[in-house]
Amino acid sequence: MVLLFDTKEIPRTAAFTGFRPQKLPFEDMNGKEAMKLKSTIKAAFSLLIKQGYRRFLTGGALGSDLLAAEAVEELKAVFYDKGIKNIICAPCIHYTEKWDPADKKRLLDVANKCDKVYFVSMKPYYKGCMHERNRFLVDNSSALVAVYDNIQSGGTQYTVDYALKNNKTVLRVDPYTNLSIQTVEKPEQIEQLIIK
């Protein structure tokens, strides 16, 4: 296991995982639905900040990852006295090579504002680098905010399962329902926590 910082900081660190655009119920990542999702992600992060979390790790992927990184930047202004840190954990170098230029610019804009960009691997894109990045996010945090519907399989579901297996707190935001935040204690047991 590779650690980003001292293990005593892990209890104050939360990670994020979430659906890419093709799995979200909307297409426009700047539209009303995307901004509603970002607001709900901010609410989940705010809850964690009030519980003492100060570092937020996001994966730098398209879709909800970019919304999450932007949400942390916005919260840094709200909780300016808390020392909030926004850290993008990219899977590898050149992973955005096939991205649309507008998406690359959006990532670069938030990366230039965040506190750190960490590359999990210094190799170019390779099979398995996303899973390696997802495990890295979980291993370096004690809580995970996840945008997923608990139905579609893939990297997000894998990351949630890995976090639960490792006894991490998971807050789920379902983009297909009313965007409530739920705490997941076990894969089969979900309890509503806040926001309707």
Q: What is the pTM of this model?
A: 0.90
Residue 5 domain-assigned (yes or no): no
Q: What local confidence, expressed as pLDDT, does residue 185 receive?
A: 53
Residue 117 domain-assigned (yes or no): yes
Residue 194 domain-assigned (yes or no): no
Closest CA to 72 of 105, 116, 103, 29: 116
Q: What local confidence, expressed as pLDDT, does residue 88 receive?
A: 96
Number of domains into which the chain is organized = 1
Residue 34 domain-assigned (yes or no): yes
One pLDDT digit (tens) per residue for the chain, 196 residues: 667 777 888 999 999 999 999 999 999 999 999 999 999 999 999 999 999 999 999 999 999 999 999 999 999 999 999 999 999 999 999 999 899 999 999 999 999 999 999 999 999 999 999 999 999 999 999 999 999 988 888 999 999 999 999 999 999 999 998 667 776 654 433 333 322 2
Q: What local confidence, expressed as pLDDT, does residue 8 receive?
A: 85
Residue 2 domain-assigned (yes or no): no
What CATH number has the domain bearing residue 132?
3.40.50.450
Residue 165 domain-assigned (yes or no): yes
Residue 85 structural domain? 10-189
Quote the CA–CA distance of 156 and 160 in Å, as a whole number. Answer: 6
Q: What local confidence, expressed as pLDDT, does residue 193 receive?
A: 31
Q: What local confidence, expressed as pLDDT, does residue 194 receive?
A: 26
Quote the CA–CA distance of 2 and 15 in Å, as a whole number. Answer: 15
Residue 169 domain-assigned (yes or no): yes
Structure tokens, 86: 């926004």
Q: What local confidence, expressed as pLDDT, does residue 184 receive?
A: 62
Where does the chain show beta strands of DSSP type E? 13-18, 55-58, 85-90, 116-119, 143-147, 169-173, 181-186, 189-194
Closest CA to 76 of 66, 86, 88, 65: 86
Residue 88 domain-assigned (yes or no): yes
110's enclosing H/E stretch is: helix 101-113
Q: What local confidence, expressed as pLDDT, does residue 195 receive?
A: 25
DSSP secondary structure string for all residues of 67-108: HHHHHHHHHHHHTTTTT-EEEEEESSBTTTTTS-HHHHHHHH
